[in-house]
Every structure is written in structure tokens, then in C-alpha cells.
Amino acid sequence: MTVQSDPLEADRALKAKHRDMWALGDYPAVAAEIIPDLGAILVEACGVGRGDRVLDVAAGSGNAAIPAALAGASVVAGDLTPELLEAGRTLATRRGAEVEWRQADAEALPYADGEFDTVLSCVGVMFVPNHQAGANELIRVCRPGGTIGLLSWTPEGFIGQMFATMKPYVPPPPPGAQPPPLWGSEGHVRALLGDAVTDVEARRQTVTIDRFAHPGAFLDYFKANYGPTVAAYRGIAGDPDRVAALDQALTELARAHLHGAEKTVMEWEYLLLTARKHD
């Protein structure tokens, strides 16, 4: 007899897995120490200003939400992982930013249609399993004439290549789930947003990373702090040969990307895309 799986139960289990993964390690440290300026870059590109109503989707610890609030906007930060929201509250208080924090699934946002002037996400919504569902929600909660802004790692850049490197060492994604770095492909995002938007502007840029003195320093940091990497290693912890192979693969990837006179600098590529929702 064939047992039919419950799609809702499967979705709840998948979301719980995502919640747990991003609670591993210390993503707030990654955001603050490795990519602290990316949120402000996105906020500026979206033209966020005083009095704007802003939603930061998959906000993490507020890398974009906090700069938006400091720019004078009224900001809601939503994320699936409570631990990240709690870290965001602490950071916002420390920086004197007023942000409303709310647990929220980016594929089913708990907000009204057209509620926000600007809807943005900084390396956040790219991790939803169903890309079209996430894009549809970005569009739905943005007001007509409002701005949608996205900053996502590209498939060809360092983080995109890191996920490709880890792929053989993690369980296969559920049916229908798409690779996160696809959000770093302009054509993919244009297709997701479709004719719901106009005035699309997209450009590839890089963020300079000078935190790691050698490839091993990168490996140690990400094994300890970055949820997806921590989860990958936990999944193969009982197989020393696979652990060693992944260590070598990630170390070689880092070595290939380090440059500069002392070989201590990386350039991580991302796609910065803004669009206006049709009136």
C-alpha cells in the first residue's frame, strides 16, 4: 500500500529544518564581521528614506533592517529563525534603531497586500525552497509603485561556488526546491518577478573580504559560524573520509579566491537588483 505524504506536514518539516540550520553556529557574527556593509548598500540602492514603510524579508539579525531604520524608515524585520530575531533586537538597541521584529515565513508573509513602500532582502529570500512562492510574496506585500530590492550571491561568485562545493556532502533537496544562488542570476529573478514589475536595474558587484589570513582560517570560521556549513559537517560527522574531503575541497576553493600581495583578500560577487512594482 502506498502512503501519501501530507504536503502541509512536509512543508512544516522543511521549514523547521531551515529554522534549525540558521540557528546553528553564529550567523549574526558572520553578518557583522564579514559582510557588515551589504545591508546598507541595498538600503541605499532602494532609496529608503524618512517615513517609508519598509519590510526586510528573511532579515536575519537585521543587516538591512537596521540601516533602513537609521535612515528614518518605519521598518518591520521578518525571519523564520527566532534566534536571529533575538540577536537583531539586541543589535538594533545597541545602535539606537527602532525595528519591529516578527517571526515570518518568506513564502507566506503575515502582512497585508500592498502594505509596504519598500520590500527588500539581503542574502535572505534567496534561501527559500520555492523561489516563485518567495517572489510572489515580495510582490504581493509591496504597494503599487513601491520598490523591491534584492541582494543575492551569484552562482559564479565565491559563495555560489561554496554551495556547489558542499552539494555532494549534503542530502538532496526536496522535490521542487531550487538552489539559492539562482537568485544571483538576473534572468532568473526577472522571470520570477515577471510583468508585475518595471524599471528593473541590476548590476553585479563584489564585496571585499579581508578577514581570512589563509585558507584554513576561512574553513575554521565557516565550520564554526555559518549555519549551512555547520549543518553539512554535522551530517557527515560519522564519516572521517568525507569530512577530510570536504575540508580539502573548501580549503582549495578559498585558496583559489584569495589574492593580493599577501594572498589574504577575497572578492565575493553578488547581484544587486531593484525594481518598481507596477501601479
Distances (CA, A) of 171 to 46, 52, 233: 36, 42, 12
Angle between helical axes of 158-166 and 240-257 (0-180°, round to 10): 160
SS3 184: helix
pLDDT higher than 60, residue 3: no
pLDDT in tens, 22-55: 999 999 999 999 999 999 999 999 999 999 999 9
C-alpha torsion sign, points 52, 33, 126, 181: positive
What is the phi-psi region of residue 57: left when phi exceeds 0, alpha when psi lies from -120 to 50, beta otherwise?
beta
| Distance separating alpha carbons of residues 117 and 44, to the nearest angstrom | 14
Give Dmax over CA atoms of the chain in angstroms. Answer: 65
Residue 136 near residue 113 (C-beta atoms within 8 A): no
| CATH number assigned to the domain with residue range 9-208+268-277, chosen from the 4 options 3.30.390.10, 2.40.110.10, 3.40.640.10, 3.40.50.150 | 3.40.50.150
Return the domain boundaries, the chain. Answer: 9-208+268-277
| Distance separating alpha carbons of residues 230 and 166, to the nearest angstrom | 11
> Over the range 129-165, which residues count as b (16 or more CB within 10 Å of their CB) and which as e?
bbbeebbbbbbbbbbeebbbbbbbbbbebbbbbbbee
Confidence of residue 1 (pLDDT cuts 50, 70, 90): very low
pLDDT in tens, 178-220: 999 999 999 999 999 999 999 999 999 999 999 999 999 999 9
pLDDT in tens, 50-77: 999 999 999 999 999 999 999 999 999 9
